Structure 1
């Protein structure tokens, strides 16, 4: 399969005969593709975050420790981190390609041992950007053994053609890895983790097995909202304490600021 990327680069896509995973040739065009970290065509960024925060809240409340620490991998402008902190969850951001606009100073630190692992790592609209997926998943697992992520999988019985699946997005040149369900299951097996697929293109790699029906329901935006309301799992917002922390840092840096 071939496509013209960024309107000028001819690139070849290769598919594994065994697991149907698709990847481009070595992506020599990425410096240009990421001249802006967030693609201009990505007009759904705010809506995705609004949907994701409710889902993340319900998944954490159902299966993980809400009092733990969490990291958003490939966190972009830091919007999800800020929104989750506003909901009372101690979230931090990791991203080496994008400026942190909304959650400055809340950067994730690579754990030094298993005692300091993050409870859960989120990675939304990240997997399709990975040039070396197994290497990057291994890095994610150094932060947490539980990874909640989103990526659109190949349509069932899809015959690979550039113009029959919008998610390839050759216009941006950023989607270089395209997954099938089988390929994600193989990643889980290689990492010794359980794999679960939900709605809204949500997936979970986890050291624990979760109930499929529950995960399917809680990754539905309306289902997650109903669950959050029914279980009253709302936590005190961190916005006031975060503001105080940032203000103190400003004061420490400038003794004339009071």
Structure 2
């Protein structure tokens, strides 16, 4: 097996699992940063015959939950009048919801059809800006065959990356862990906090986390408690009183799209 795709250290086989209900796939764990990767994922074309798997029934609730969190994150740590990018943005639902809330969000996704945010893809804006203020990547990192090179691509868009991926639990039989989801064949990279810290370090970034799911790579330095407060509904309500969202882009987007169609 190849060395760790994050730190280059030796990896050890930890188990074999049936992927897509037919492929016997080996999983390997890094002896240094604890990153877990599959063997070379030869089955990905088959796994992505449907880009959004039918098992992802949390897609809508995830977007609903993430909107107030990201809105608060932007207002607390970044500039709310800049442009933002949702990387691996799927159907564009999150982008549309954020634009409805006044944030100039755009979508990037090479594989999924843009249903809800047409006219607001990365190619519609990238030529007119240097970098995005913030890049979000929800449930993307576990799909990355080469996390180091893919993170470099993300950093070409923004110095600040807010993302979700669930860190695997220690002292647990991972072969039965719900997040492994071998039925879909799409989760080929599993992280520890240690491996995420290493990813941040080699890119000269600070790493912040809230629990085992929410993570931030950024050039900024601040107390981790400030990052944690962003997830409090009480804090969100308080901060909305002192810093409102920008004016909704719903009407202006409609006017723009209407003029294009005419």
Fold match by TM threshold 0.5: yes
**Structure 1: 5+ residue stretches without partners:** 252-258
Work out whether 1:248 is the aligned partner of 2:256. Answer: no
Shift, 1:207, TM fit: 0.6
Contact 1:67-1:90 within 8 A present in 2 as well: yes
State the Cα distance separating 1:214 from its structure 2 match.
1.6
Q: 1:208 aligns with which of 210, 213, 220?
A: 220
- Structure 2 residues not aligned, in runs of 5+: 1-14
Q: Show the counterpart of 2:10.
A: none
Q: Is 1:111–1:142's contact at 8 Å kept on the other side of the alignment?
A: no
Aligned residue runs from structure 1 range 217-232, under 5 A: 217-220=229-232, 222-223=233-234, 225-232=236-243
For 1:5 and 1:227, the matched residues in 2 are separated by 46
Question: 2 CA distance for matches of 1:218 and 1:8?
Answer: 42
Show CA shifts across 1:134-157 (max 9, x none).
Answer: 0100000000000000000011x3
- 2:134 aligns with one of 116, 120, 125: 120
Q: Which residue does the alignment assign to 2:167?
A: 153
Q: Deviations over 1:137-181 (max 9, x none)?
A: 0000000000000000011x3345301x21111111100000000
Cα distance change, pair 202–183 in 1 and its aligned pair in 2 (3 A)? same
- Give the TM-score of the pair, scaled to structure 1: 0.91
Residue 162 (str. 1) matches residue 175 (str. 2) = yes
Q: Does 1:179 align with 2:191?
A: yes
Residues of 2 paired with 1:176 and 1:54: CA distance? 29
- Residue 200 of structure 2 corresponds to 188
Cα distance in structure 2, aligned partners of 1:132 and 1:242: 36
Deviation at 1:228, TM superposition (A): 4.2
Q: After the TM superposition, which residues 20-35 of structure 1 pair with which residues of structure 2 at under 5 Å, given as runs?
A: 20-35=34-49
Counting only pairs closer than 5 Å after superposition, residues 74-113 of structure 1 correspond to structure 2 as 74-109=88-123
Query: How many pairs align?
Result: 247
**Which residue of structure 1 aligns with residue 82 of structure 2?**
68
SS in 1 for 2:179: helix
Instruction: Determine the structure 2 residue equivalent to 1:255.
Output: none
